[in-house]
Structure 1
């Protein structure tokens, strides 16, 4: 016997967090045990991609030597399962690094995600497995022991064995072929995975578009068709939908897709998809899209699975594949980031995608509505980051308004086209929800005059819309600002107080409220309400201010301007009391109550107990007069 054959089997112990993970995998109930096959095929495909890449960069003829492939062999009677690839293989050190630990720091993230999901009791989400790089260990869902035999071009063959109970063994073996072979016996309750029909269906479901042929008992079962290489007229909806599900791991079909084949300054092909729904973290977690992007292929070899440099961040929810021959195969991430070829592809892709959105808005309104509902908040971010396409993005914006039904939208162009005579500004109001905004006193003037007001219900709007500044040479203005251009005195039917009667009321209001407000002025916007609060000309939008307070980035609210309605009965009564006795305590009590009532409507009243106590005092005084 040679020394290599006599080498003793070495036993290793998993790290502490690895033991936790294996225990969960072996003893927890998964709703999708079939996922193990997807993960093993994915790992085999990665190994084949690496050897394919090496062959091409070493100028070896494509197809030289044996076919790069994945082979699966089943024995239904014995319940045995073997999957083998002729990819790069692993050395002993790589076995320890790759199978003795899990995705380095990924294990703890995976365990935390499981803990957060466990109360659900509906089983562990299959997508968590691939997300945290623990795919290989999903095999323990269907077996009690796994054997891995592997070899690189330059290393001695090795055999790795584990039962998932905290230890694993490694020994050197005589293995001639480069690649990796994984074999195991299926548990009794997983014997279905020894059936060729069942395994073939799983491959078609999850791995139909893997870049290399998959042979099941010597029968090729996957498509390996590069759909983006084919003319759009040749694509069938069913295979396009299958491909989308494969690359996105989405259970739903895409909302729409875009096929591109461009030749010119740069040459590339692309197949891009719009998902039907946006993950919650994409909308509300800062940086959620930072490291996302379509897959990048160079000469049929995948270079980056998530290439963030292909698209600006606000478009990285678009899934798909981009392939070019204008980059070298051995391109590094740093080269990608600084490549003029990539910059040009990114520029063209961005323009084409925005044009795609415009086409949906024009010709497929229901699809666009669904797209905008899902991704509108993300696209809006592009207004402040992509100044080249800013004007096009502005045309894509949609808003509810005082003239639309709930859930219906208007564009800025449509708003301008139906502006009333002599209207020179575009008006908007921001708030938490439509019903709250429609009850805002600041709308009264606009409703009476039939002037449409945009209702900004999306939290992103308050950060984005003020930056537009103007559209079609018409300024965008919040109706909660004090500098709205009202035509004072234009309503002859108003029985407003005379100047000499309103001035004492304004003076005492200012005295009563003191530094609670920036100013107290006569209102030209109110119709049915006695008072309202508005922001000064240079003040922050009320919704932004509210958000900053919620995030504890702003301790106090900016001072507001209180506007009073000289035509309202309450203000007229206060004017009369001021003429009789301006020191009457009911005057200042009522003024403070009106101010805090305006705060209450805004959702900013903090001292509710004082408000109610004061209200009771006023009611008591009013009922005494009635009794008298």
Structure 2
């Protein structure tokens, strides 16, 4: 049996194709108008490539029941209609088509299915066209219906006397709202405000050129005000500043608006990209480096490649290059602020320091430019590293917010400058400060450093309190905490709880060992090292500590030490372990019992 070698032609279900376009390729029926504008603008571009003085006008007329779009473009002959409009996927912009291929780079459309998009709102499409290349050819009419059928006929010259094309849409049932004059005007302005040719809906203008970033203004201040208004109209916020995006080699002109409030780096950006004047997308992804999440861009380009739906950007080498170039433009803007506009820079960093810190981690130039300006939480308040380093001979830092909270008040009172390195990127940046400020000592703060800055107590005084200190050490030893006595300010702080990462790791290991079974307990026990333990530093200058130290009752003294330990943990905003919570409850109950018992004893004495 011989196989059938007869060639066959695919049969296209136009209803199914329209459903595919409206529900899967395009995000909304509104794109139909963009496709109509695109075809009209491309037709004018093609005609002007051959006739530079040809008129350039697109007019739209809508009444809810239908839409008429007229252009002064290249037009079509009857042969063009059969080969282009009646062949799905064929485009007049495709390479090899006479007259138009030579200027293909100037066209907006690249995929040849734009006219079919009109079926998402239209039951019938009628095209009347007259060719500018063959002026003697009569006008031709092509009528297509959503069932896939079409007719073609020639018309008398009077049907269209000038070259160009008119597209008539008859609304589908339920789609009339898309063809009202106000809706068409709104969509036309949204998509086509930057198109290079005059576009009007009825008598109302659509195009608004030059673009706001290309207009002349009487002063830089007037320009900033005008761009701020443009940002409000476009994005709904008043920007902190605006950044010009002028990249001739990449074919890009536009502006980036700096957000007035902090946003999450993970938040999706809403960049608006126009392709040769036509709005491509309002939600461009991948346009900027990840660190530049603090700006929203609007730009026009002729170099980026759209996806098939023309609603997003195609990820390729060109987009990667543009992304790097736009990132460099924003980086240059930041460097310019640092060099000549410190007030504007401070206002920016007060909101968006996180993005700049992220950039500085990977960009040596930005690190040198911005690190001295970046704000950090310190024992001197929120200041820049440059200012902080001028005040302190050594820049100490903690790796966690928890560590900073433990020591901030005491370190400040002792004159120790400490930077909170617990926030995102901060530790890494503080450690790199010597790269920007050579010779600046930077050191991680540990418990020994803090203790060394506290005043030692007179040996005779410590000897007199030896019994009390023995009770205190015995009380806290099960918690993995040592006790020492020092004199420090402020006097209102009775005790200071100090530990570091090594001490916390050892404490976590010990807790796990207690809860583990025999095998794991043995393994964890073998990991026990010589790591330093946490330390409760009692303040000998504090009146409350002095009264506790003078107690004769060891049990009461131990309960009071537990209370001081719990208070120190709470002051440091430390998370409490179950053992810590149990200790606090026990100390509270013990002190309450003692106070109640003591009060009853006094009452009995008075009665006697």
TM over 0.5: same fold?
yes
Structure 1 pair 186/205, CA: closer, same or farther in 2 (3 Å)? Answer: farther
**Pairwise mapping of residues 151-230 of structure 1 onto structure 2 (< 5 A)?**
159=144, 169-174=147-152, 182-184=169-171, 193-194=180-181, 207-210=192-195, 213-217=198-202, 220-226=205-211
Aligned to 1:320: 297
**Pairwise mapping of residues 429-448 of structure 1 onto structure 2 (< 5 A)?**
442-448=407-413
Structure 1 pair 343/455, CA: closer, same or farther in 2 (3 Å)? Answer: closer
> 1:149-181, CA deviations, whole angstroms, 9 ceiling, x for partnerless residues?
689x9xx978465xxxxxxx5444549989976
Q: Does 1:599 align with 2:573?
A: no
Q: Does 1:533 align with 2:509?
A: no
**Contact kept in structure 1, 2:414 and 2:489, CA below 8 Å:** no
Q: Does 1:415 align with 2:388?
A: yes
1:615 deviates by 0.3
> 1:432-466, CA deviations, whole angstroms, 9 ceiling, x for partnerless residues?
9xxx99xx66344345456676678x953656555
Aligned to 2:476: 513
1:382 deviates by 1.7
1:45 deviates by 5.6
| In structure 2, distance between residues paired with 1:620 and 1:604 | 27
Aligned to 2:244: 259
Aligned to 1:618: 591
Structure 1 pair 540/513, CA: closer, same or farther in 2 (3 Å)? Answer: closer
Q: Does 1:381 align with 2:358?
A: yes
**Contact kept in structure 1, 2:350 and 2:375, CA below 8 Å:** no
Larger mean CA deviation between 319-328 and 220-229 belongs to 319-328
**Contact kept in structure 2, 1:268 and 1:325, CA below 8 Å:** yes
Aligned to 2:112: none
1:204 deviates by 5.2
SS state at 1:252 partner: coil
Aligned to 1:335: 317
> 1:466-514, CA deviations, whole angstroms, 9 ceiling, x for partnerless residues?
55465744455677x41435664658xx779744456666665554334
| In structure 1, distance between residues paired with 2:545 and 2:168 | 87
Aligned to 1:73: 61
Q: Does 1:353 align with 2:333?
A: yes
| In structure 1, distance between residues paired with 2:406 and 2:454 | 19
Aligned to 1:131: none
Structure 1 pair 301/595, CA: closer, same or farther in 2 (3 Å)? Answer: same
Structure 1 pair 307/219, CA: closer, same or farther in 2 (3 Å)? Answer: closer
Aligned to 2:449: 484
SS state at 1:600 partner: helix
| In structure 2, distance between residues paired with 1:589 and 1:485 | 26
Aligned to 1:276: 259
Aligned to 1:106: none
> 1:115-166, CA deviations, whole angstroms, 9 ceiling, x for partnerless residues?
xxxxxxxxxxxxxxxxxxxxx99999xx9x7656689x9xx978465xxxxx
Q: CA RMSD in A?
A: 6.1
Aligned to 1:425: 395
SS state at 1:624 partner: helix
SS state at 2:383 partner: coil
Structure 1 pair 335/498, CA: closer, same or farther in 2 (3 Å)? Answer: same
1:392 deviates by 1.8
1:42 deviates by 4.5
> 1:38-77, CA deviations, whole angstroms, 9 ceiling, x for partnerless residues?
x555455666788899x79xxx9487797787542134xx
TM-score by length of 2: 0.59
Structure 1 pair 499/512, CA: closer, same or farther in 2 (3 Å)? Answer: same
**Contact kept in structure 2, 1:82 and 1:184, CA below 8 Å:** no
Aligned length: 498
1:349 deviates by 1.7
| In structure 2, distance between residues paired with 1:137 and 1:518 | 74
**Contact kept in structure 2, 1:227 and 1:240, CA below 8 Å:** yes
**Contact kept in structure 2, 1:255 and 1:275, CA below 8 Å:** yes
Unpaired runs of 5+ in structure 1?
1-6, 26-34, 96-135, 162-168, 542-557
**Contact kept in structure 2, 1:274 and 1:318, CA below 8 Å:** yes
| In structure 1, distance between residues paired with 2:323 and 2:181 | 48
**Contact kept in structure 2, 1:49 and 1:301, CA below 8 Å:** no
| In structure 1, distance between residues paired with 2:259 and 2:569 | 40
Q: Does 1:250 align with 2:250?
A: no
Q: Compare CA radii of gyration and give the structure with the larger one.
A: 2
**Pairwise mapping of residues 12-51 of structure 1 onto structure 2 (< 5 A)?**
12=16, 41-44=33-36
| In structure 2, distance between residues paired with 1:303 and 1:11 | 26
**Contact kept in structure 1, 2:371 and 2:433, CA below 8 Å:** no
Aligned to 1:240: 227
| In structure 2, distance between residues paired with 1:562 and 1:147 | 84
**Contact kept in structure 2, 1:383 and 1:464, CA below 8 Å:** no
1:564 deviates by 1.3
Aligned to 2:523: none
SS state at 2:291 partner: helix
| In structure 2, distance between residues paired with 1:374 and 1:507 | 51
**Contact kept in structure 1, 2:360 and 2:371, CA below 8 Å:** yes
SS state at 1:396 partner: coil
**Contact kept in structure 2, 1:254 and 1:273, CA below 8 Å:** no
**Contact kept in structure 2, 1:486 and 1:525, CA below 8 Å:** no
